[in-house]
Amino acid sequence: MYELIANSIPIAIVASIPLLLAVEGELLVQRGGIINLGIEGMMLTAAMTAAFAAQTTGSVTIGFLGGIAGAMVITAIFGVFAIALRADQIVTGTAINLLALGGTSFVYREVAAFQRPIPQLHTDIVSALSWIVAPLILGAILWNTSFGLRLRACGENPEALAATGRSVRMHRWAALMIEALLVGIGGAYLSLALSSGFAENMTAGRGFIALSIVIFGRWKIKGALLGTAIFGLAAALQYALQAANRGIPFHILLAVPYVVTLLILCGVAGRVRSPESLGRP
């Protein structure tokens, strides 16, 4: 059993990277008062544009840049409706998901470049970036800068921020673009490092799991890291258990990561309080 766990840890660290980046991005925007339900669609779009950029140029770096660009474009669409036009965020996010799923599947079937070989990733700096650098920077931004204070004010009491003469919209746009940067890297990592290219609906619900980890992690960076780590480790461990063939039905093992994450996060942190103005346009 110890060997199984020891073997699963490195796998879990790598395999949860797209999820972790999504959780971190979503945490930031929700602190600023926006529920971005379209995170699944953003990641899927990023995965596709990253694969396309990498397969046409043969460069992993350009692939990652392509993923970031793709995520930013679709996030901008979300932003125009949710921030500029003050549309309902839940509806807009859902629409973004449907648009991304249909759009990427369509493009994938029509474009021949997706059949080309994909360049291999040799040095993996993304694991360090997502598990160490990004949480430290996000923590510093949120709690130690005046931008972070104002962003949190957008999430709690936007009228107060507006009263000081600052733009709530600009702060929310900034948070959205940071999220797009993180999710773009996550999507690119999914199609370039976890897979050898794009596949339809390859995000497979990661965006929604990210949303629930943000909530169960009580909108805290520590909670986000802990939730993702538990979920990732439980997922890797249940595959190791399937491989070890202990006679446990795989249907039950497949449910383990969800149950374990739920139980642990329910027990850990104290009182739940979401940002006061979350979801209000």
CA dihedral 268→270→272→273, nearest 10 degrees, is: -130
199 binds other proteins (CB under 8 A): yes
Q: Is 117 exposed, middle or buried (0-12, 13-18, 19+ CB in 10 A)?
A: exposed
Nearest-approach distance from CB 73 to other proteins, in angstroms: 23
CB of 67 to other proteins, least distance (A): 15
Per the listing, tokens 């346009």 go with 281
Question: At residue 243, what is the residue type?
Answer: A
Q: CA angle at residue 13 from 10 to 14, to 5 degrees? A: 90
Residue 9 sits in the site that holds other proteins (CB under 8 A): no
Q: Tell whether residue 65 is a contact of other proteins (CB under 8 A).
A: no
Residue 193 binding other proteins, by CB under 8 A: yes
> What type of residue sits at position 195?
S
Q: Angle at Cα 78 formed by Cα 174 and Cα 200, nearest 5°?
A: 115
Q: Which residue has the tokens 């773009």?
A: 184
Q: Which residues contact 19 (CB under 8 A, 6 or more apart)?
A: 186, 206, 209, 210, 213, 228, 231, 232
Torsion sign across C-alpha atoms 187, 188, 191, 194:
negative
Among 148, 197, 207, 223, binds other proteins (CB under 8 A): 197
Identified binder of other proteins from the candidate list 195, 229, 269, 278, rule CB under 8 A: 195
CB of 245 to other proteins, least distance (A): 6
Spacing of C-alpha 246 from chain mean position? 33
| 3: three-class secondary structure by DSSP | helix
Kindly state whether residue 201 participates in binding other proteins, applying the rule CB under 8 A: yes
Nearer to other proteins, 115 or 146 (CB): 115
Determine which residue in the list 43, 82, 134, 190 makes contact with other proteins, applying CB under 8 A. 190
Number of residues that bind other proteins (CB under 8 A): 36
Q: Which is nearer to other proteins, 4 or 62 (CB)?
A: 4
Nearest to other proteins of 192, 225 (CB atom): 192
Interactions with other proteins, residue window 105-164 (CB under 8 A):
108-110, 115, 117, 120
**Given the rule CB under 8 A, which of 53-61, 69-77, 82-90, 196-204 is the region that contacts other proteins?**
196-204
Residues numbered 225-264 forming contacts with other proteins, rule: CB under 8 A: 235-236, 239-240, 242-245, 250, 254
For 67-99, b/e burial (b = at least 16 CB within 10 A) is bbbbbbebbebbbebbbeeeeebeebbebbbeb
Among residues 103 and 281, whose Cβ is nearest to other proteins? Answer: 103
Could you tell me the sign of the dihedral formed by the alpha carbons of 143, 149, 151, 153, in that order? positive
Binding part of the chain for other proteins, among 9-17, 65-73, 169-177, 214-222 by CB under 8 A, reads: 9-17
Using CB under 8 A, list all residues that contact other proteins: 7-8, 11-12, 15, 18, 108-110, 115, 117, 120, 190-191, 193-197, 199-202, 204-206, 235-236, 239-240, 242-245, 250, 254
